[in-house]
C-alpha cells in the first residue's frame, strides 16, 4: 500500500466517522447551525405551492448519471426528489422529474414508486413522473423545455449535472413566469445559473440541499463534516504554500 | 314615608308624582266629570273628542296610560275629563298611594274595588317569577329568560297557590254577584252591572297591607253619587246609544262566563279579557299592547367582516372551477427585447460577411500553450499513431471544428496515422465530420477505405470514466473493432499498440471540463512517454490551464477556441477556417459587449430610480 | 408508513459493492475484484443506454396513442428515430447517408440551439441588475466585459492591456476560484458516496 492509498483510507474513515458521529451523537438543528440561503426558502415555498395551490413542481436531474465525478450531484438530485415527492405527492398535480441519462430516469421512477408505496398510495404512481427527455445534453434540454412550458409548472428546481444547455431551460422557464432555482456541479452551468436564474446555488451549496430541506439527519451531519474537512484542507493548503515558499518542502 | 309603586314597572315613586318617573305610566287618575261630558261615558279612549286630543297632544300609541301620562305632562288636563268605562278602569290601575287607608276602606261600600286595586298592586309588587314584570328585572339581571317566563317548581307551586288564591277571590265575587242579582231596577242592572261587578271584585282576597287609594273609592262613589245627585236634582241618567247598549252583557260575568258563585280566584278586570277568571295577570306590556321591538332580520356585520366573507366565498367557489390557463400575450416586453437583441447580434455577424470591409485582423501572438502544442506536433513522424479523442457535442462544432481542424491539418501534413475514439455516443460521427472538414481546409485527403487507411475510427467507449480507464489500460480489449465492425488492430500501425502509452500523441478535444478532467485522471497516469494536448472551448480553458501550469505538466499543450485556432494557424503558417470566422466573431463580440453595457446601465438606472421613488413614498 | 423488507437486501448489496470497489483502489490485492466489478458496471451502463433509448421511444409512442399534449413533437421524434435507425442499420453508422443526416440536421439544429443560448445569455447579463442589484453583480458584469475586451480588436484602439488583464484574470483568479469550488464539489461528492456506503441515502428505491 502506498502512502497516497493510506492517506486516502484515513481520510475516508475520518470523514465517514464524522458523519456518523454528528448524525448519531450530536444531531443539532438545521435552523441553528446553517446560514440562510434564500434559494432553499423559495424551494420550500414552491413545494408548499405545489400542494396548496395545485401547481406542479419540476425537478431537473441533469444528464450526469450516478457514476463518476458528476454522479454526486445526481445523487443529491435523487435525495431532493424523494423529499419533494414525500411532501407534494398528494398535490392535484404531482411533481415531475426530468433527466438526460437512463440510470437517473430509472432511479427517479423508483424513488416515486417507493414514496407512494410508503404512503399507501401506490395507485397514484405514474411512470410519466420520471421522464427521460433526451440522451444528449441539448436533446435533454429540448425535451425539458416541453415540460417547463406547461403553464401548471410553477417551480423549477435544478439539481444535477448540467452544461451550458441549462440556459435554454431557464429561458423557457422565464417565459412561463415560473421560479427557477437550483445548482450544478459544473462551473459553466453555475455561471449561467447566476446570470439567469432567480435563486441560484453557487459553488457547493447544492450539496447542502439535503440538510436545508431536511431529507434526513445524515445530510445535516454531512454538511457539518464537510465544513470541518474544508477548514482542514484550507489549513493544509495554506501551510503547504508557506512551507513551499520558505523552501522547507 | 309613603311611596307609590308603579303598577307597570314596579319602581318606587314619590306620592305626589302623577306619572312614573321610569316608565311614564300614569300614577294619578284623570278626573272625569260626567256632568260636564256626559256623552263620554261609555266611550273608548279612541272616541275622545278631537279637541281634547289636540289640546292634550295625545299620541296614537297603544299605551293609553302613557298617553294619559303625556296628557298629564303637558300640564293641561282639566280636572273634569271625559270618563268612559275603559278609562275608568285604566285610571283604576294608577295607584297613588298604596298605604292602606282604613278610613277609605271602611267608608267605602266598595270593598271589592279596593281589593281589585290591591290585587293589581300586589301583582305589581309580587316577587314571584310568574307574576313579575319583565322590566323589574331589567336592571338586575341580564341573562336568562325573564322571570315571568321561568317557572320553577316553587314557582309552579306558588303559582298554583296563587291561582287558588285568585280563584278564591273570584268565588267570593260570585257569591256576591248572586246577591246582587236580586237588586231592583233594570236601569241599575244596566248601569250597575259593571259597577256591581266592580263591587264584587272588590271583595277579592285581601293582599297584605296594601292600601287602596282614596280616589278609587271616589270613582266608584262617583257614579253612585252622580246618580244620587242626579236623582236629587231630578236629572235623568245618561242614555247609551242603543247599539252600545245592545253590546252590554245581559247577565253578570258569572252568568256569562259560567263562573261559580263561590269562585274566589282572580278575575281579569281590564283589557279584552275583562271578566274572565283564571287569567294570568296581564303584564303591562301585554295590557298596554306595546309594540314589540323590531329587530333587523339581517345579521349586523362590519364592513371588514363583509369583505372578508366575500373573499372567503370567492375562494370556496373557485375551488371547484376549472382555472383557465393564464393568457400569455404573444407580444411581451421580454420577447420584444429578446428579438431586438437577436436582430442586433445577427446583423453584427452578417455585416462582415456581406461587406467588403472587415475589422482589423487579430494580431497573433501565440501563447506558450499553443507554441508548445505546435512544437510537439511538428515532431510527430510519418505513420506515427496519434490518438484523437473527440469529446465535444455537435452543438459546439462551430468553435471546436475550427480549433481541431487546425491541429488535424498539421497532423495530416506530418503524415500521422489518426486513431479516433470517443466516450460520447455522437463522438464517432463527429470524428468523421471533422476529418471531412480538415480535408476541405488543406490540400490533403485523409480517407479510410479498404485500399487506403489513413485513419481509423474505433467508435464509442462505454462506461464513462471506468470505460476510459479500461481503454487506457487495454484498448485492444475495450474496442476490438472499428465503427464499421472490421478488426481494428490488424493494421500494421496499430499492431504494436498495447496500451495508451504506445501512442505517439494523445489529443483530447472537448468543450466540457468534466470529460477533459476524466481523460487526465484516467489516462494521464499511464502516459509516461506520450504527450497530451488539449483542444478545448474557450469556456473550459481556465479549468484546464492548471494542468498545463502544473509541475510536472500533466497537459503539454492547449489550443483554445477560435482565437487559439488563429494563433495556431499563424504559428504553422497556415490559414485555417478560423481566419474566415474571425471578422464575424469579432463584430459579434463587440455588439454583445455594447448590448451588455447599454442594457445593464439602463436596468441599473431603472432600479436605482425605482428604489429612490420607493424611499420617497415611504418617507412621505 | 410501511417499509419493504426487500430494501434491506438492496442496502446490503449496495454497501457491499461500493465498499469492495473502494477498498480495491487502496489494496492492490483486491484490484482484480475491483476490475471485475468495474467491467460489470461498464456493461450495465451500456445496457442502460439501450434501455433508455427504448424507454424514450415508448414514452413518446404512448403520448401519440393517448392523444396527449404536444403529441406532434412526439411523432416527429418517432419518425426521426426510425429513419436514423434504418439508415444506420442498413448503410452503416458512418456511411454517406448517415453523415448527411448528421451534417445537415443534427449539427445545424444543435448549433442553432447554442446560438439561441448565446443571445439569451447576453439578454440575461443585460438585465442582471434588475434581478439582483448588489456588489457581486457589478463584479460579475465587469469581469465579463473585461474578458470580452481582452479578445476584441477594434480599429484604432489599443487593447493589449485588456488582453494581459484577461490572461491574468483567467490564470490567477478564475483558476483559484475554480480550485476552491472543485474542492468543495469533491467533498460533497465524497460525502454523497459515503452516505450511500453507510446506508443513510438510498436512491435505489429504499
How many domains are there within chain A? Answer: 1
Interchain proximity C1–A118, CB inside 8 Å:
yes
Q: Are B275 and B196 in contact, with CB atoms under 8 Å apart? A: no
Residue A92 or residue B158, greater confidence = A92
Residue C89 predicted with pLDDT over 50: yes
A90 reaches B (C-beta below 8 A): no
Helix (H, G, I), strand (E, B) or coil at B204: coil
Q: Which of A202-216, B347-361, B446-460, C161-175 has the highest mean pLDDT?
A: A202-216
User: Which part of chain B has CATH 3.40.50?
Assistant: 362-585
- Please tell me which residue of chain B has the smallest CA distance to A191: B539
**Residue from A137, B224, B391 nearest C117 by CA:** A137
CA distance B521 to B507: 15
Instruction: Please state the length of chain B.
Output: 620
**Residue from C61, B596, A115, A1 nearest A10 by CA:** A1
pLDDT interval class at C133 (50, 70, 90): confident
CA distance A8 to A14: 10
CA distance C171 to C177: 10
C-alpha cell, B554: 500533466
Measured in angstroms, the CA of C30 and the nearest CA of chain A are apart by 11
Measured in angstroms, the CA of C206 and the nearest CA of chain A are apart by 7
| Strands (DSSP E) found in B173-305 | 263
Mean pLDDT taken over chain C: 87
Q: Are B576 and B565 in contact, with CB atoms under 8 Å apart? A: yes
Contacts A151 to B, Cβ<8 Å: 325-326, 328
Measured in angstroms, the CA of A51 and the nearest CA of chain C are apart by 20
- Cβ within 8 Å of B, A 12-51: none
List pLDDT tens digits, range B470-492: 899 899 999 999 988 888 898 88
A214 reaches B (C-beta below 8 A): no
Which stretches of chain B score pLDDT less than 70? 1, 30-167, 177-234, 248-264, 281-291, 322-331, 356-364, 450-451, 615-620
- Tell me: do C137 and C104 sit in the same domain: no
Q: Are B25 and B6 in contact, with CB atoms under 8 Å apart? A: yes
Tell me phi and psi for residue A203, to 5 degrees.
Answer: 70, -130
Contacts B540 to A, Cβ<8 Å: 188
Ramachandran region of residue C88, left (φ > 0), alpha (ψ -120 to 50) or beta? alpha
Interchain proximity C119–B345, CB inside 8 Å:
yes
**Residue from B288, B287, B194 nearest B244 by CA:** B194
- Cβ within 8 Å of B, C 85-104: 92-94, 98-99, 102-103
Interchain proximity C152–B597, CB inside 8 Å:
no
Instruction: State if pTM tops 0.80.
Output: no
Interchain proximity A229–C187, CB inside 8 Å:
yes
Contacts B549 to C, Cβ<8 Å: 171, 175
Ramachandran region of residue A84, left (φ > 0), alpha (ψ -120 to 50) or beta? alpha
**Residue from C198, B465, C189 nearest A72 by CA:** C189
- Tell me: do C164 and C197 sit in the same domain: yes
CA distance B567 to B374: 10
ipTM score of complex: 0.88
Q: Are B598 and B408 in contact, with CB atoms under 8 Å apart? A: no
Q: Is the peptide bond before B552 cis (omega within 30 degrees of 0)?
A: yes
CA distance C94 to B428: 8
Q: Determine the pLDDT at residue B373.
A: 95
Q: Determine the pLDDT at residue B165.
A: 53
Q: Determine the pLDDT at residue B67.
A: 40
B329 reaches A (C-beta below 8 A): no
Measured in angstroms, the CA of C154 and the nearest CA of chain A are apart by 27
What is the span of the domain harbouring residue C124? 92-131
Tell me phi and psi for residue B289, to 5 degrees.
Answer: 65, 40
Helical packing angle, C135-151 and C160-168, nearest 10°: 120
- Tell me: do C9 and C56 sit in the same domain: yes
The partner residues of B507 in beta bridges, in order of sequence, read B388, B533
Q: Are A193 and A201 in contact, with CB atoms under 8 Å apart? A: yes
CATH number of B362-585: 3.40.50
CA distance A151 to B478: 47
Helix (H, G, I), strand (E, B) or coil at B496: coil
- Cβ within 8 Å of C, A 172-231: 185, 187, 190, 192, 194-196, 198, 203-204, 206-208, 216, 218-219, 222, 225-226, 229-230
CA distance B12 to B10: 7
Interchain proximity B334–A70, CB inside 8 Å:
no
Q: Determine the pLDDT at residue B126.
A: 42
Q: Which of B338, B463, B598 sits opposite C46 (nearest CB)?
A: B463
**Residue from B514, B564, B543, B533 nearest B392 by CA:** B514
DSSP assigned state of C93: T
Task: Provide the b/e sequence for A60-74 (b: ≥16 CB within 10 Å).
Answer: bbbbbbbbbbbbbbb
- Tell me: do C147 and C85 sit in the same domain: no
Give me the percent of chain A exceeding a pLDDT of 90. Answer: 56
List pLDDT tens digits, range B336-348: 888 999 999 999 9
Interchain CB contacts (distance < 8 Å): B and C: 152
How many domains are there within chain C? Answer: 3
B546 reaches A (C-beta below 8 A): no
State the Cα torsion A121-A126-A130-A136 to the nearest 10°: 170
A167 reaches B (C-beta below 8 A): no
> Do strands B505-510 and B532-536 pair parallel, antiparallel, or not at all (unpaired)?
parallel
What is the span of the domain harbouring residue A63? 53-156
C-alpha cell, B428: 464517432
What DSSP string runs through A81-123? HHHHHHHHTTSSS--EEEESSHHHHHHHHHHHHHHHHHTT-GG
Report how far apart, in Å, the C-alpha atoms of B12 and of each of B64, B66, B96, B98, B539 are: 21, 17, 11, 11, 103
C50 reaches B (C-beta below 8 A): no
Q: Determine the pLDDT at residue C104.
A: 95
C-alpha cell, C77: 421524434
List pLDDT tens digits, range B89-118: 656 655 544 444 444 444 444 444 444 444
- Please tell me which residue of chain A has the smallest CA distance to B517: A69
Q: Is A127 among the domain residues?
A: yes
Q: Are B193 and B248 in contact, with CB atoms under 8 Å apart? A: yes
Interchain proximity C117–A194, CB inside 8 Å:
no
Contacts B315 to A, Cβ<8 Å: none
B543 reaches A (C-beta below 8 A): yes
C-alpha cell, B521: 485522471
Interchain proximity A68–B465, CB inside 8 Å:
yes
- Tell me: do C84 and C104 sit in the same domain: no
Interchain CB contacts (distance < 8 Å): A and B: 46
CA distance A158 to A171: 13
State the Cα torsion A30-A34-A38-A39 to the nearest 10°: -70
Q: Is A126 among the domain residues?
A: yes
Chains that touch A (3 or more CB pairs under 8 A): B, C
List pLDDT tens digits, range A111-146: 999 888 888 888 888 888 899 999 889 999 999 999
Tell me phi and psi for residue B316, to 5 degrees.
Answer: -65, -40
Contacts B363 to C, Cβ<8 Å: 153
- Tell me: do C81 and C155 sit in the same domain: no
Q: Are B99 and B214 in contact, with CB atoms under 8 Å apart? A: no
- Tell me: do C4 and C27 sit in the same domain: yes
Ramachandran region of residue B463, left (φ > 0), alpha (ψ -120 to 50) or beta? left
Q: Which of A135, A177, A187 sits opposite B425 (nearest CB)?
A: A135
Q: Are B527 and B469 in contact, with CB atoms under 8 Å apart? A: no
Residue A209 predicted with pLDDT over 60: yes
- Please tell me which residue of chain A has the smallest CA distance to C188: A207
3-state secondary structure labels for all residues of B339-370: HHHHHHHHHHHHHHHHCCCCCCCCCCCCCHHH
pLDDT interval class at A238 (50, 70, 90): very high
The partner residues of B505 in beta bridges, in order of sequence, read B386
| Sign, CA torsion A78/A84/A87/A91 | negative
Amino acid at each position: 500500500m502506498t502512502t497516497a492509498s493510506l492517506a486516502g483510507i484515513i481520510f475516508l474513515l475520518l470523514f465517514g466517522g464524522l458523519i456518523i458521529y454528528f448524525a448519531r451523537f450530536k444531531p443539532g438543528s438545521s435552523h441553528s447551525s446553517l446560514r440562510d440561503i434564500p434559494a432553499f426558502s423559495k424551494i420550500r415555498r414552491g413545494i408548499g405551492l405545489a400542494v396548496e395551490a395545485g401547481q406542479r413542481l419540476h425537478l431537473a436531474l441533469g444528464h450526469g448519471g450516478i457514476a463518476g465525478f458528476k454522479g454526486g450531484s445526481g445523487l443529491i438530485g435523487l435525495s431532493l426528489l424523494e423529499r419533494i415527492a414525500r411532501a407534494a405527492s398528494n398535490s392535484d398535480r404531482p411533481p415531475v422529474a426530468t433527466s438526460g441519462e437512463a440510470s437517473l430516469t430509472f432511479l427517479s421512477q423508483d424513488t416515486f414508486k417507493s414514496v407512494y408505496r410508503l404512503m399507501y398510495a401506490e395507485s397514484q404512481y405514474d411512470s410519466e413522473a420520471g421522464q427521460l427527455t433526451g440522451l444528449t445534453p441539448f436533446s435533454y434540454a429540448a425535451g425539458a423545455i416541453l415540460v417547463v412550458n406547461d403553464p401548471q409548472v410553477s417551480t423549477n428546481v435544478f439539481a444535477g449535472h448540467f452544461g451550458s444547455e441549462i440556459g435554454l431551460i431557464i429561458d423557457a422557464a422565464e417565459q412561463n413566469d415560473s421560479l427557477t432555482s437550483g445548482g450544478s456541479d459544473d462551473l459553466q452551468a453555475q455561471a449561467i445559473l447566476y446570470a439567469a436564474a432567480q435563486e441560484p446555488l453557487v459553488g457547493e451549496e447544492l450539496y447542502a440541499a439535503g440538510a436545508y430541506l431536511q431529507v434526513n439527519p445524515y445530510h445535516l451531519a454531512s454538511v457539518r463534516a464537510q465544513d470541518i474537512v474544508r477548514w482542514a484542507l484550507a489549513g493544509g493548503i495554506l501551510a503547504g504554500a508557506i512551507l513551499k515558499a520558505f523552501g522547507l518542502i | 314615608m309613603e311611596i307609590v309603586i308603579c303598577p307597570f314597572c314596579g319602581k318606587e315613586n314619590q306620592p305626589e308624582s302623577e306619572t312614573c318617573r321610569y316608565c311614564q305610566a300614569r300614577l294619578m287618575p284623570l278626573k272625569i266629570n260626567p256632568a260636564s261630558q256626559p256623552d263620554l261615558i261609555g266611550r273608548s279612549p279612541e272616541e275622545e273628542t278631537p279637541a281634547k286630543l289636540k289640546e292634550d297632544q295625545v299620541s296614537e300609541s297603544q299605551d293609553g296610560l302613557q298617553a294619559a301620562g303625556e296628557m298629564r305632562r303637558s300640564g293641561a288636563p282639566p280636572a273634569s275629563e271625559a270618563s268612559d268605562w275603559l278609562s275608568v278602569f285604566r285610571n283604576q290601575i294608577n295607584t297613588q298611594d298604596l298605604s292602606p287607608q282604613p278610613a277609605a276602606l271602611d267608608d267605602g261600600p266598595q270593598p271589592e274595588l279596593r281589593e281589585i286595586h290591591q290585587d293589581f298592586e300586589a301583582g305589581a309588587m309580587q316577587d314571584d317569577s310568574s307574576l313579575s314584570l319583565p322590566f323589574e328585572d331589567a336592571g338586575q339581571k341580564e341573562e336568562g329568560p325573564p322571570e315571568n317566563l321561568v317557572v320553577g317548581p316553587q314557582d309552579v307551586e306558588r303559582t298554583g297557590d296563587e291561582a287558588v288564591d285568585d280563584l278564591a277571590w273570584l268565588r267570593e265575587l260570585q257569591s256576591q254577584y248572586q246577591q246582587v242579582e236580586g237588586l231592583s231596577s233594570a236601569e241599575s242592572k244596566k248601569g250597575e252591572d259593571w259597577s256591581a261587578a266592580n263591587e264584587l271584585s272588590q271583595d277579592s282576597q285581601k293582599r297584605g297591607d296594601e292600601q287602596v287609594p282614596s280616589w278609587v273609592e271616589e270613582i266608584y262613589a262617583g257614579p253612585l253619587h252622580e246618580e244620587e245627585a242626579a236623582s236629587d236634582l231630578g236629572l235623568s241618567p245618561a242614555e247609551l246609544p242603543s247599539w252600545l247598549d245592545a253590546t252590554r252583557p245581559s247577565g253578570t260575568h258569572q252568568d256569562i262566563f259560567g263562573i261559580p258563585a263561590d269562585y274566589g280566584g282572580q278575575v281579569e278586570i281590564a283589557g279584552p279579557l275583562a271578566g274572565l277568571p283564571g287569567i294570568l295577570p296581564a303584564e303591562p306590556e301585554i295590557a298596554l299592547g306595546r309594540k314589540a321591538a323590531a329587530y333587523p332580520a339581517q345579521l349586523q356585520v362590519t364592513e371588514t367582516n363583509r369583505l372578508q366573507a366575500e373573499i372567503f366565498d370567492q375562494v370556496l367557489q373557485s375551488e371547484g372551477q376549472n382555472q383557465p390557463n393564464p393568457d400569455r400575450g404573444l407580444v411581451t416586453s421580454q420577447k420584444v427585447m429578446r428579438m431586438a437583441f437577436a436582430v442586433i447580434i445577427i446583423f453584427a455577424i452578417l455585416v462582415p460577411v456581406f461587406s467588403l470591409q472587415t475589422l482589423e485582423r487579430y494580431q497573433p501572438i501565440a501563447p506558450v500553450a499553443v507554441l508548445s502544442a505546435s512544437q510537439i506536433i511538428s515532431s510527430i513522424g510519418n505513420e506515427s499513431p496519434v490518438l484523437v479523442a473527440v469529446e465535444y457535442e455537435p452543438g459546439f462544432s462551430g468553435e471546436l471544428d475550427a480549433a481541431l481542424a487546425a491541429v488535424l491539418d498539421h497532423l495530416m501534413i506530418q503524415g500521422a496515422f489518426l486513431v479516433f475514439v470517443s466516450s460520447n455516443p455522437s463522438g464517432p460521427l463527429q470524428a468523421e465530420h471533422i476529418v471531412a472538414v480538415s480535408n476541405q481546409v488543406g490540400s490533403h485527403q485523409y480517407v479510410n477505405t479498404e485500399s487506403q487507411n489513413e485513419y481509423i475510427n474505433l467508435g464509442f467507449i462505454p462506461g464513462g470514466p471506468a470505460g476510459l480507464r479500461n481503454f487506457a489500460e487495454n484498448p485492444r480489449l475495450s474496442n476490438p473493432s472499428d465503427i464499421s465492425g472490421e478488426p481494428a488492430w490488424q493494421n500494421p500501425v496499430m499492431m504494436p499498440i498495447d496500451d495508451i502509452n504506445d501512442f505517439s500523441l494523445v489529443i483530447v478535444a472537448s468543450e466540457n471540463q468534466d470529460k477533459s478532467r476524466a481523460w487526465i485522471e484516467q489516462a494521464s497516469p499511464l502516459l509516461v512517454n506520450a504527450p497530451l494536448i488539449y483542444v478545448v472551448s474557450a469556456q473550459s480553458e481556465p479549468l484546464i490551464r492548471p494542468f498545463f501550469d502544473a509541475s510536472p505538466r500533466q497537459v503539454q499543450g492547449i489550443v483554445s477556441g477560435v482565437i487559439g485556432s488563429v494563433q495556431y494557424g499563424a504559428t504553422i503558417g497556415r490559414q485555417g477556417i478560423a481566419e474566415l470566422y474571425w471578422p464575424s466573431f469579432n463584430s459579434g463580440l463587440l455588439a454583445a459587449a455594447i448590448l451588455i453595457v447599454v442594457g445593464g446601465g439602463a436596468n441599473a438606472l431603472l432600479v436605482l430610480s425605482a428604489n429612490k421613488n420607493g424611499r420617497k413614498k415611504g418617507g412621505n | 408508513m410501511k417499509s419493504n423488507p426487500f430494501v434491506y437486501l438492496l442496502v446490503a448489496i449496495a454497501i457491499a459493492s461500493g465498499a469492495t470497489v473502494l477498498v480495491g483502489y487502496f489494496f492492490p490485492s483486491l484490484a482484480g475484484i475491483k476490475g471485475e466489478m468495474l467491467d460489470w458496471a461498464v456493461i450495465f451502463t451500456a445496457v442502460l443506454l439501450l434501455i433508455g433509448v427504448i424507454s424514450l421511444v415508448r414514452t413518446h409512442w404512448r403520448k401519440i396513442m393517448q392523444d396527449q399534449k404536444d403529441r406532434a413533437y412526439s411523432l416527429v421524434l418517432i419518425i426521426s428515430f426510425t429513419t436514423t435507425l434504418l439508415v444506420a442499420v442498413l448503410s452503416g453508422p458512418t456511411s454517406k447517408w448517415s453523415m448527411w443526416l448528421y451534417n445537415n440536421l443534427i449539427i445545424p439544429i444543435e448549433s442553432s440551439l447554442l446560438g439561441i443560448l448565446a443571445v439569451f445569455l447576453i439578454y440575461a447579463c443585460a438585465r442582471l441588475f434588475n434581478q439582483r442589484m448588489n456588489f457581486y453583480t457589478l463584479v460579475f458584469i465587469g469581469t465579463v466585459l473585461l474578458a470580452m475586451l481582452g479578445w476584441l480588436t477594434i480599429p484604432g484602439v489599443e487593447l493589449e492591456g485588456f488582453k494581459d488583464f484577461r490572461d491574468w484574470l483567467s490564470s490567477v483568479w478564475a483558476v483559484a476560484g475554480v480550485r476552491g469550488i472543485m474542492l468543495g464539489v469533491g467533498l460533497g461528492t465524497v460525502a454523497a458516496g459515503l452516505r450511500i456506503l453507510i446506508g443513510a441515502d438510498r436512491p435505489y428505491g429504499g
